């Protein structure tokens, strides 16, 4: 493909596929670059219960396939290529992938963010079967069950407060003796009678058969290991935006590495937009990713039509 692309979308997750749908339906020559498989993190959601329109929930993989089909039907082209760098100065932007170079009038970056793993044994084996990286998504499944949250920041404490509404018991396991969460969250969590803190400790192993049933916890001060029976472990030790190639291209990022956009999803570089988990958003969910994608596509179309007079 050597022609100039109207709107190039980097990342084919929920945000990228929604942006691709809107852009292609708007008559733009649209190419979505996806480094792994369309759908992104949607593919790891076994039961998606908070996406409007599915009263019985749906699985993320099926939704991803439908979004991909819809974007392609509208005319978007999906290329299975990983973007390694971008050149963003001037009106024509360059997209360099692992195998080719492309030129576009406008770019929407939707490369997402990945939760950091905690690093305990069997963590990957129990993902979706007791190990979760999203309390807001999976918390309701732990009604009257026992859950643990790993982490000591705002996300971990918010997750534990949220889970305490459903779960019979919530353990907060933190590797240090003090938390980094803001005071109001700490005051709130101390009012929860079903929350127990396990400090100076790390989870070393997840155990169970088909589903998680217990975890091994090591106290780093005493060097003692104990086994705690839990049905779920929520890992909240941070997430990493996929912005290395974006940073190198000079797009303005937050201290944590997220792309800074305005409400029209514009970055600080003309003709460059961002949407979904990769941007500085207050909520990282499927519903917000697709909404961002639609807004970014609309803004990019206006940019191409009015500012470039295309």
Ligand X SMILES: Cc1cc2nc3c(=O)[nH]c(=O)nc-3n(C[C@H](O)[C@H](O)[C@H](O)COP(=O)(O)OP(=O)(O)OC[C@H]3O[C@@H](n4cnc5c(N)ncnc54)[C@H](O)[C@@H]3O)c2cc1C
Pick from 301, 241, 240: nearest CA to 265: 301
Pairing of strands 101-109, 201-208: unpaired
Q: Of residues 151, 232, 271, 276, which one binds ligand X by CB under 6 A?
A: 276
219 binds ligand X (CB under 6 A): no
Q: Which residue has the tokens 């090591």?
A: 218
3-state secondary structure of 285: coil
151 binds ligand X (CB under 6 A): no
Q: Of residues 72, 82, 129, 145, which one binds ligand X by CB under 6 A?
A: 82
Half-sphere exposure of 304 (CA within 13 A, CB side): 27
Smallest gap from residue 304 Cβ to ligand X (A): 21
Q: Of residues 24, 88, 106, 115, which one binds ligand X by CB under 6 A?
A: 115
Which stretch, 38-46, 144-152, 226-234, 302-310, contacts ligand X (CB under 6 A)? 38-46
Pick from 32, 116, 18: nearest CA to 67: 18
How buried is residue 235: exposed, middle or buried, by Cβ count under 10 Å (0-12/13-18/19+)?
Answer: buried
Site string for ligand X, 277-296 (x = CB under 6 A): x------xxxx-x-------
Beta bridge partners of 207: 214
131 binds ligand X (CB under 6 A): no
42 binds ligand X (CB under 6 A): yes
Q: Of residues 23, 110, 261, 299, which one binds ligand X by CB under 6 A?
A: 110
How buried is residue 17: exposed, middle or buried, by Cβ count under 10 Å (0-12/13-18/19+)?
Answer: buried
Residue 48 vs 157, nearer CB to ligand X: 48
Q: Of residues 6, 31, 41, 161, which one binds ligand X by CB under 6 A?
A: 41
Report residue 85: phi and psi, to 5°.
Answer: -155, 165
Pairing of strands 131-132, 77-79: unpaired
Torsion, Cα of 194, 197, 203, 207 (10° steps):
-20
152 binds ligand X (CB under 6 A): no
Q: Of residues 78, 95, 111, 291, which one binds ligand X by CB under 6 A?
A: 111
Q: Of residues 9, 24, 48, 228, which one binds ligand X by CB under 6 A?
A: 48
Q: Of residues 142, 171, 179, 245, which one binds ligand X by CB under 6 A?
A: 245
232 binds ligand X (CB under 6 A): no
271 binds ligand X (CB under 6 A): no
Which stretch, 28-36, 210-218, 248-256, 257-265, contacts ligand X (CB under 6 A)? 28-36
Q: Of residues 44, 122, 194, 280, which one binds ligand X by CB under 6 A?
A: 44
Smallest gap from residue 84 Cβ to ligand X (A): 7
- Collect all residues with Cβ–Cβ distance below 8 Å to 104 and sequence separation of at least 6: 4, 5, 6, 7, 8, 31, 92, 93, 95
- Collect all residues with Cβ–Cβ distance below 8 Å to 189 and sequence separation of at least 6: 157, 160, 161, 164, 172, 181, 195
Q: Which residue has the tokens 């003796």?
A: 177
Smallest gap from residue 246 Cβ to ligand X (A): 9
Instruction: Provide the binding-site residues for ligand X, judged by CB under 6 A.
Output: 10-16, 33-36, 40-42, 44-45, 48, 50-51, 82-83, 110-112, 115, 133-134, 137, 242, 245, 276-277, 284-287, 289
């Amino acid at each position: 493909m050597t022609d100039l692309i109207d709107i190039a979308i980097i990342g084919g997750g929920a945000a990228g596929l929604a942006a691709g749908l809107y852009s292609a339906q708007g008559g733009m020559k649209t190419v979505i670059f996806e480094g792994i498989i369309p759908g992104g993190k949607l593919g790891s959601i076994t039961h998606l219960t908070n996406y409007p329109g599915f009263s019985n929930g749906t699985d993320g993989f099926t939704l991803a396939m439908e979004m991909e089909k819809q974007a392609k039907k509208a005319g978007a082209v999906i290329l299975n290529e990983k973007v390694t760098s971008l050149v963003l100065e001037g009106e024509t932007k360059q997209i360099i992938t692992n195998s080719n170079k492309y030129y576009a009038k406008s770019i929407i970056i939707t490369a997402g963010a990945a939760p950091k793993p905690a690093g305990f044994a069997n963590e990957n084996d129990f993902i979706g079967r007791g190990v979760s990286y999203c309390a807001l998504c999976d918390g309701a499944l732990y009604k009257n069950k026992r859950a643990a949250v790993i982490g000591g920041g705002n996300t971990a404490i918010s997750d534990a407060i949220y889970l305490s509404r459903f779960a019979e018991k919530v353990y907060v396991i933190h590797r240090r003796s003090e938390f980094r969460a803001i005071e109001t969250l700490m005051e709130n969590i101390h009012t929860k009678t079903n929350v127990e803190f396990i400090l100076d400790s790390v989870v070393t192993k997840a155990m169970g058969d088909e589903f998680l049933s217990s975890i091994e916890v090591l106290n780093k001060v005493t060097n003692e290991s104990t086994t705690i029976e839990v049905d779920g472990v929520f890992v909240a030790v941070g997430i990493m935006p996929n912005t290395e190639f974006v940073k190198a291209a000079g797009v303005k990022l937050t201290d944590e590495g997220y792309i800074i956009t305005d409400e029209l999803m514009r970055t600080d570089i003309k003709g460059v937009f961002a949407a979904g988990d990769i941007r500085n958003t207050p909520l990282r969910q499927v519903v917000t990713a697709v909404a961002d994608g639609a807004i970014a596509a609309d803004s990019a179309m206006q940019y191409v039509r009015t500012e470039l007079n295309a």
